[in-house]
Amino acid sequence: MTQTYEFPQGFRLLSAYFDRASQEALLAHIREVVTKAPLFQPRMPRTNAPLSVRMSNCGSLGWVADKNGYRYQPDHPDTGEPWPEMPKMLLDLWEGVSGYEAPPQACLINWYDGGAKMGLHQDKDEENLVAPVVSVSLGDTGVFRLGGLTRKAPTRSMKLSSGDVVVLGGASRLCYHGIDRIMPGTSTLLRQSGRINLTLRRVTPL
């Protein structure tokens, strides 16, 4: 018995939204951000177990995870410095695809090495669950899994390639999702194998 997967309302995959030159320009901005706000190792609340993905942020707020919990905060967990400004390219992307009236406050940078993955989860740490999430993939292809509103709902897997943009609006905003694995050697954008994902978010109401 196999179940069919119904794509959630509000999910949009914009394949190859950024061409190679734009990906290189965006990557240069992200490298500058992580020079000022070094990648940190997020940890699971309570167990303190490290996640396999390293992270940083730009914008007025950044998502952090440590033994005390998951939260947004205005400063870097290791350096205490404010997060770097969000590059204009990302503000323009949000304006172009989000359909939301206010700008994003947080850009989470997820940096995957060849073996990193992200388990199935929901994004619920934002006060504002009405604004969409906008995601950009750079570097090696990631095998992305999108599910439904419960952990047991059917899921469907799809590849996210360098330059792809995903918009998670409407019902898709609260769907379970994760990254099963990355496919090393599928892109020449980065100097080494790996994948970068950017997620733009509105954290608070207007």
Binding residues vs Fe ion (CB under 5 A): 123
Residues near ligand MD3 (CB under 6 A) are: 108, 110, 118, 123, 133, 135, 142, 166, 168, 172-173, 175, 177, 179, 197, 199
Cβ nearer to ligand MD3, comparing 87 with 196: 196
Give the residue among 57, 172, 181 at the shortest CA–CA distance from 123.
172
CA distance 143 to 26: 22
Q: Which of residues 26 and 108 has its CB atom nearest to ligand MD3 in the complex? A: 108
CB of 123 to Fe ion, least distance (A): 4
| Min separation Cβ 104 and ligand MD3, Å | 13
Shortest separation between residue 7's beta carbon and ligand MD3, angstroms: 12
Judged by beta carbon, residue 13 or residue 89, the one nearer ligand MD3 is: 13
The Cα-based distances of 118 to 7, 91, 112, 178 in angstroms read 21, 26, 9, 5
> Closest CB to ligand MD3 among 10 and 103?
10
- In the complex, the smallest distance separating the C-beta of residue 201 from ligand MD3, rounded to whole angstroms, is 8
Residue (1 or 192) nearer to ligand MD3, CB: 192
Q: How far is the CB of 1 from ligand MD3 (least distance, A)?
A: 26
